[in-house]
Amino acid sequence: MQPEAKPPRMPKPTDHHAVWPDRVPHAITVPRTPLHDAVAVNARRYPDKPALAYFGQTWSYQRLWHEAQRVAAYLAHIGVKRGDRVLLLMQNCPQLVVAHLGILRAQAVVVPCNPMNRALELQHMLRDPDAVVAITSADLAGELVAASSALEPHEQLQHLIVTQMAEGIDPALATGPHTVPPQWQDWLLKIRDLPALPGGTVHTWASVLANPHAPPPDEVGADDLAILPYTSGTTGLPKGCMHTHASISHNAVAGTLWGGGSHENRTLCVVPMFHITGMVSVMHTTLYAGALLVVMPRWDRETAAQWIAAWRVTHWTNIPTMVIDLLGSPNVANFDLSSLLYIGGGGAAMPQAVAQRLLETYGLRYVEGYGLTETAAPSHSNPMHAPKQQCLGIPYLSTDARVIDPVTLQEMPVGESGEIIMRGPEVFQGYWKRPEATAQAFVTHDGHRFFRSGDLGRRDEQGYFFMTDRLKRMINASGFKVWPAEVEAMMFAHPAIQEACVIGTQDAYRGESVKAVVVLRASHVGQVQPQDIIDWCRQQMAAYKVPRVVQITDSLPKSGSGKVMWRLLQEKEQAGQ
């Protein structure tokens, strides 16, 4: 007689508490002060302590706060009011941090924007949040002007504040390990002419910092809207995620506690600060703690290694492709990473072989985490003392996460896959101007309102979560989310393209890359080659969205209702690889 099978064990929300880090509370009280108040406090507490480091130069907390207030005063002077949305389009540099804090201090809302976006993409970023003021750098100003000019007059920018990238660099200090790399010199040091803004006014960064006006009274609170980062969905255009000062503050405070933070930390920031991870887990967490933020404008493995050694960096949040590239350097044996106490990140799974090599070479355990724009970056993270490889981690401070059947909404037993849902103070308020999408993004479970991640995962006996698949149609290219529907919509503007279906293809370095399967119009068959389409896409969209491969075909598979069967193409691609 066969023994009776045991019923599957149902998980408890507190399973992970057995591996919880010592001296870290399970939940925290969220500050009721605005985000920028932490910098104001640190400017009084540590006035001369370096807040930012950039090519050998430092900004003290006092200087950082002074310049942020100058930006706030100028924004108020040109008419920015409480709750107005201000677009921020810039690569990593000190001016981005100053502008970000200045927008918050002006009681306005930061709309962070990907600097790789082109004019067509930027039109939506201006129109949807009703932004009439933008702050950018001279190398990106032309795209922003082109985007604004293509809009209706009432949707166009009224003011554009422009900084030269060179304004953040002191040539006398940019020497030795802080020398501007040759491949960046034209981009960072060249002084560019400023474009005219049809129907509006262009303002220089120098005039903003020199203005004599007073900033407005600081009356915003924890529940006011602070950040409006955009994330795409499976259909339609990108949606704005409404984050208050409280939701961002929670993860800034939580990140400090989780990572063993103190005001003596030195954090390397090379992940982009327009992205929720760089903005919250790196910038706001570091500045809340009163620590040093070492700002890198973009990724370069030799520069990163030199700066880690020169600044004695203790904490480095990144994406796995950066670590893969760093370990692939012919100079890796000479890199001094001995100051690092923490290295980790997310956006894509860290290959086990690479994590093992990092451990064997430098004694560093890579700590993976998981989160979305809607959850202000981390909703899960591995504990530093007990990380598991290729694992999302355990639910974050103050966070309740479950795994449910996406159809029946019933909770799944330990080890079985389902949709990951979560609730906590870091979860956003909803999608800007999208009440239907907001309603669809939440579900009531166990008497509480949970956010539906759209990701499929499981959790083990210890409460660690693991990704198994995605409900959403999304491509993860080096940690950048590429939404096929958005790329397809832009590709249809090509005069030769009749139909297009975008899928993911495996990439040994990037994890996934973009592939487009295209049907040409009859008039263009034999006249247009795949490379022609790729070249056109490079002019129309951010580089990470551009298809690396274009396959021209006679037809796309369709369902009985006429919908393109993208999943069939995706499965064929995976089978072929």
* Interaxial angle between packed helices 301-311 and 320-327, expressed in degrees from 0 to 180 and rounded to the nearest 10: 90
Report, as ranges of residue numbers, the positions in the chain whose pLDDT lies below 70.
1-5, 232-236, 470-471, 559-562, 577
Indicate where the chain has its CATH 3.40.50.980 domain(s). Answer: 60-220
What is the spatial distance between Cα 143 and Cα 116, in angstroms, rounded to a whole number? 10
Domain 394-470: CATH class, spelled out: mainly beta
What are the tens digits of pLDDT across the range 401-437? Answer: 999 999 899 999 999 999 999 999 999 999 999 999 9
CATH number of the domain located at residue range(s) 60-220 in this protein: 3.40.50.980
319 vs 355: CA distance, rounded Å: 12
184, 347, 367, 388, 427 from 360: Cα distances, Å: 33, 23, 15, 16, 37
In contact, 422 and 377? CB cutoff 8 Å: no
Q: What is the pLDDT of residues 537-552, one digit of tens each?
A: 999 999 999 999 999 9
- What is the pLDDT at residue 1? 55
pLDDT given at position 256: 95
Q: What local confidence, expressed as pLDDT, does residue 483 receive?
A: 81
- Residue 475 is predicted with a pLDDT of 87
Q: What is the pLDDT of residues 64-84, one digit of tens each?
A: 999 999 999 999 999 999 999
DSSP 203-236: EEHHHHHT--PPPPP----TTSEEE--EE--SSS
CATH 3.30.300.30, the chain: domain bounds: 475-576
Give the per-residue pLDDT at 308: 98
456 touches 469 (CB < 8 A): yes
Residues 6+ apart with CB under 8 A from 562: none
* 3-class DSSP string for 94-160: HHHHHHHHHHHHCCCEEEEECCCCCHHHHHHHHHCCCCCEEEEEHHHHHHHHHHHHCCCHHHCCCEE
Residues forming CATH 2.30.38.10 domain(s) in the chain: 394-470
Return the pLDDT at 47.
98
Which pLDDT score is estimated for 479? 81
How far apart (Å, rounded) are the C-alpha atoms in residues 68 and 230?
24
What kind of fold does domain 475-576 have according to CATH? GMP Synthetase; Chain A, domain 3 (3.30.300)
